[in-house]
Amino acid sequence: MNTIRISSRMRWLLLALSTVLVAGCTEIGNMQEQPKYADPYDESVVFGVAAPELDPNAVPIGALREDQLLYAGRVDGELADEFPVEVNEALLLEGQRLYNGFCSPCHGYVGYGDGVISLEGFAPPASFHDPVIRAKPAGHYYDVIVNGQLVMFSYASRIPDPEDRWAIVAYIRALQLSQSATLQDLPEDLQAEFAAAVRASEAAPPAEDMSSGTGR
């Protein structure tokens, strides 16, 4: 029974080895006898205090915000007039949802500054269709969402995801375009369709006037 004898010798070997290893836990680098700190501000031989001050430049893992355009609406420190995300229909619809929820109470659904708060006696914000405000770069709108402006408080904590903020900015741009677009801004096929619809409505007989007459 040669094989059994070998394996029993192996067992002894393993047992001897593990005894050395287990002993190592207490003898080598003795963790169970390291100093314990009851108070985070106890004196420590390694750090000075048990809980050292964070380096002011420390960044939590996954929280590095290197992309200035995405996180601050800026390029080279200046407010930028570009988007760090792709502007597509899905983004605009999300922007509409967020704008209607967070911004319309003051700025109004179309952005004229005629939200319900003005009915309550608050000073209304300026219109997003004011040419001076319309001319401001996209980064300005992002910046106001993050930092607020005068009486408007910051929305950074309520809209924490930068993509959501950019979705709102994109929707404000869509609102601005919707109120200042000309026929020439439409793609050519839509221009033709629109012109045909106008011609059709002009050619149609006027709708019967229901306001006068006998029926009640």
Site for ligand HEC, rule CB under 6 A: 102-103, 105-107, 117, 125-126, 133, 136, 141, 144-145, 149-152, 155, 168
Closest to ligand HEC by CB, 69 vs 176, is: 176
Least Å distance, CB 71 to ligand HEC, is 16
Least Å distance, CB 99 to ligand HEC, is 6
- Write out the two tokens for 154: 């910051």
Closest to ligand HEC by CB, 69 vs 164, is: 164
Least Å distance, CB 90 to ligand HEC, is 19
- Write out the two tokens for 208: 């019967």
How far apart CA 5 and CA 11 sit, in angstroms, is 10
Least Å distance, CB 88 to ligand HEC, is 19
How far apart CA 115 and CA 125 sit, in angstroms, is 9
How far apart CA 125 and CA 43 sit, in angstroms, is 54
Closest to ligand HEC by CB, 30 vs 100, is: 100
Closest to ligand HEC by CB, 69 vs 171, is: 171
- φ, ψ at 148 (rounded to 5°): 70, 175
How far apart CA 112 and CA 103 sit, in angstroms, is 11
Closest to ligand HEC by CB, 149 vs 180, is: 149
- φ, ψ at 158 (rounded to 5°): -85, -25
How far apart CA 3 and CA 148 sit, in angstroms, is 80
Least Å distance, CB 93 to ligand HEC, is 16
